[in-house]
Structure 1
């Protein structure tokens, strides 16, 4: 099974298969569950605030195109 990884200046973000779809994660924090990996990438690019680290993803130039993310195998 595959997932996606983007390495930002603040650390790595992942979009991985979850219980009922896809999960976006940063460190040990789950940022949300999404119907598709593209939806997760769109939301991360537009901006989600990571509550534990207080990082605003809109400031990290996270790409909204999954083709710009690294494919990881899980």
Structure 2
């Protein structure tokens, strides 16, 4: 299986296959569950609050919406 990784200035974000869909994660925290990896990339890029980032909004981290700009990882 493949997943996706984006390394930001605050650490790596992942979009990985989950239970019946895709999960966006940061560290050991799940940021949300999505129907597709593109939907996950869109939501993370537009802004999610990460508890590990002391309430920093992900939209301030220049995370790309285009999934093709994320690195492919094999899981």
Would the TM-score normalized by the shorter structure come out above 0.5?
A: yes
2:15 maps to 1:15: yes
Partner of 2:26: 26
Uncovered stretches (5+) of structure 2, i.e. residues with no partner: none
- Bigger CA drift: 43-52 or 11-20? 43-52
Structure 1 stretches of 5 or more lacking a match? none
- Structure with more helix by fraction: 2
| Corresponding residue SS for 1:64 | coil
Q: How many residues align?
A: 74
Report the TM-score when normalising by structure 2.
0.95
Q: Once the 2 structures are TM-superposed, how far is the Cα of residue 13 of structure 1 from its aligned partner? A: 0.1
Q: Per-residue deviation at 1:55?
A: 2.4
What RMSD, in angstroms, separates the aligned Cα atoms of the two structures?
Answer: 0.8
- CA offsets 1:21-51 (integer angstroms, 9 cap, x no match): 0000000100000000000000011000012
1:56 Cα deviation after fit? 1.1
**Which aligned runs of 4 or more in structure 1 are off by greater than 4 angstroms?**
none
Structure 1 length-normalised TM:
0.96
